[in-house]
Amino acid sequence: MECILRYNLEELKESLSKMGMPKYRAVQVLGWVYKKFQTDFDAMTDISKEDRKLLKENYRVHTLELTDEVHAEDSVKYLFKTLDGHTIESVLIRERDHLTLCVSSQIGCAVGCKFCATAIDGLTRNLRTDEIIDQLLQIQKKILPQRIRNVVFMGMGEPLANYENVRKAVEVMVSPWGIDLSKRRISVSTSGLIAQIKRMSEDPIMREVNLAVSLNAPSQKLRELIMPISKTNNLSELMQVLKEYPYPKGRRIMLEYVLIKGLNDKKEDALSLAQLIGKYKNKFKVNLIPYNPDPELPYERPSIEEVYEFQKVLWQTGISTFVRLSKGINIFGACGQLRQRDVVKWKEWKKGERAGLQSL
């Protein structure tokens, strides 16, 4: 039985046509699923009984099982189980005037960033398009009438290492026949896969979404130390590709910089980062993210004073720099904290005493 969410419009037209249904049924079905969040084929009343019967016999809508959720004041972490028994996590973030959903694109991650909890488990497999979309669909249906406005591919995994599935998921999210989100409301984060960023820049769908690059170090040597992928994706080459990225005037690439106490948070690091950006100040904006701790990792976050001192150095060189105080940190739902957890053990860590967690 196939999942409806794996198809784009043209693919579903062909699939339904092979079963003897008119192709326009695809528009009707996707309208029910993505506009009305209806997952019961029997409730799709503008479709004939015979075709509804065929749909029930051959397709399903959901491919994930929502098994648990953990609430914090600023966010909710949802745990899903895949059909083959793995666990993935998604985080709904409450912003001041909108909701943002952080989705996962892989089960685990192979990139191996030393400060990221997701890397501890390694990579199990890529998520399929339907598994990516189902995170959004189930959470959106659950919180109606509130609507998710922004989607960020910043959950488990390296999105550009799962390019085809992520691309099709983005297509579903932005298409009028799909969820119909603005391309400006979708962000794809990458650790800096140069070949895939080039591919993204040539893709008419992907090059219009927001690009965020996890930089985290101003030099090749330091970046290799905390992000081994930099050995094969050289920092200077990465920056050159980003400087040439074909964004329209006024759009900027987000450089994400996780500040780790005593490792990459010194004034000299900020000055080196400014030098790395150089004259391309209008091409980038920097998001400073104080490290989000995990009990199995040895790192700590700098003090808020040190964070703002780092920001000040960059502002003084003319670089737009923002401090992103992560939400969901006390439920292990913040940047770099997501893992395959069958049970969310967060209450004992809520105060963050062992991990050096500070209230920011």
Q: Of 3, 102, 256, 335, which is the active-site residue?
A: 335
Q: Average of pLDDT values for 92-102? A: 92
Q: Average of pLDDT values for 191-197? A: 97
The residue among 100 and 293 whose pLDDT is bigger is: 100
Binding residues: 109, 113, 116, 157-158, 189, 214-216, 292
CATH code for 65-349? 3.20.20.70
Contacts of 271 (CB under 8 A, 6+ apart): 313, 317
CATH top class, domain 2-60? mainly alpha
Are 223 and 230 contacting, i.e. CB atoms less than 8 angstroms apart? yes
Q: Kindly report, residue by residue over 19-57, the tens digit of the pLDDT.
A: 999 999 999 999 999 999 999 999 999 999 999 999 999
Q: How far apart are CA 255 and CA 185, in angstroms?
A: 17
pLDDT of residue 358: 37
Q: Kindly report, residue by residue over 226-283, the tens digit of the pLDDT.
A: 999 999 999 999 999 999 999 888 899 999 999 999 999 999 999 999 999 999 999 9
Binding residues for [4Fe-4S] cluster: 109, 113, 116
Q: How far apart are CA 7 and CA 35, in angstroms?
A: 16
Q: Kindly report, residue by residue over 49-85, the tens digit of the pLDDT.
A: 999 999 999 999 999 999 989 888 888 989 999 999 9
pLDDT score of 349 more than 70 = no
131 carries an active-site annotation: no
Q: How far apart are CA 101 and CA 195, in angstroms?
A: 27
Q: Kindly report, residue by residue over 145-183, the tens digit of the pLDDT.
A: 999 999 999 999 999 999 999 999 999 999 999 999 999
Copy the structure tokens of residue 94.
């409450």
Residue with tokens 């049924």: 25
Q: How far apart are CA 86 and CA 256, in angstroms?
A: 29
89 carries an active-site annotation: yes
Q: Of 89, 102, 131, 256, which is the active-site residue?
A: 89
pLDDT of residue 20: 93
| Domain residue ranges in the chain | 2-60, 65-349
